[in-house]
Amino acid sequence: MTASGAPFAPPPPPGQGPPSPFAQPARPLRESMVLRHVVGVVVALGLTPVGILVFDYGAGRYARERMVTLEDSGATGELVLMFVGALILAAVAASARVSGLGPVVAGLLWGGVPFVWFLADLPSFFDFAQDLPSNHYWFAVPTYLFPLVAALLVGSGLAGRWRARS
């Protein structure tokens, strides 16, 4: 008995007391995973072609400028475009931290499929590239561009899949 006459009761163990008024209700795990994967795939599928086109445009202009002038003067605009395109693709690769599925799907769709198309039917691939609305010669070196994009994105997606859970 205590001084007030009530029986002695030990304090409850940690975590078994009344719920905190500030506690957040737990979200279902499955719902948050599905949303994360959907957002990851949408972001990766949307940004990947932008990064490829920006990088390819800068690289194509840089190569054409070098072939015509045989000098390195005035190439900063093309190098900046290549850098911006590479940053966009790096952002897609970094999105594997949110969902590894996004970069894998984008790498297969925007890197693997065009490369297989290039290998399987070269004339129709270049007909398509020439039909794109521009006076720029698109995809000048698809043998390097598409396999590298596919490898970068699929690799980052797989690495993101097995990232440390913290």
Higher-confidence position of 91 and 21: 91
The pLDDT value given to residue 133? 78
- Span 43-69, pLDDT tens digits: 999 999 999 999 999 988 888 888 888
- Span 126-162, pLDDT tens digits: 898 888 877 778 887 888 899 999 999 999 999 876 6
The pLDDT value given to residue 130? 85
In which band, very low, low, confident or very high, does the pLDDT at 22 lie, cut at 50, 70 and 90? low
The pLDDT value given to residue 3? 67
Higher-confidence position of 144 and 165: 144
Residues in Cβ contact with 157 at an 8 Å cutoff, skipping those fewer than 6 apart: 96, 100, 101, 102, 103, 104, 105, 107
Q: Is the dihedral of CA 43, 140, 124, 144 positive or negative?
A: negative
- Nearest Cα residue to 159 out of 107, 110, 86, 87: 107
Rounded to the nearest 5°, which phi and psi values hold at 111? Answer: -115, -50
CA–CA distance, 149 with 92 (Å, rounded to integer): 10
Domains of the chain, by residue range, sit at 38-161
As a whole number, mean pLDDT of residues 110-122 equals: 94
The pLDDT value given to residue 27? 58
What's the predicted TM-score (pTM) here? 0.74
The pLDDT value given to residue 36? 87
CA 93 centroid distance within chain: 4
Residues in Cβ contact with 155 at an 8 Å cutoff, skipping those fewer than 6 apart: 107
The pLDDT value given to residue 163? 58
- Span 64-103, pLDDT tens digits: 888 888 776 677 888 899 999 999 999 999 999 888 999 9
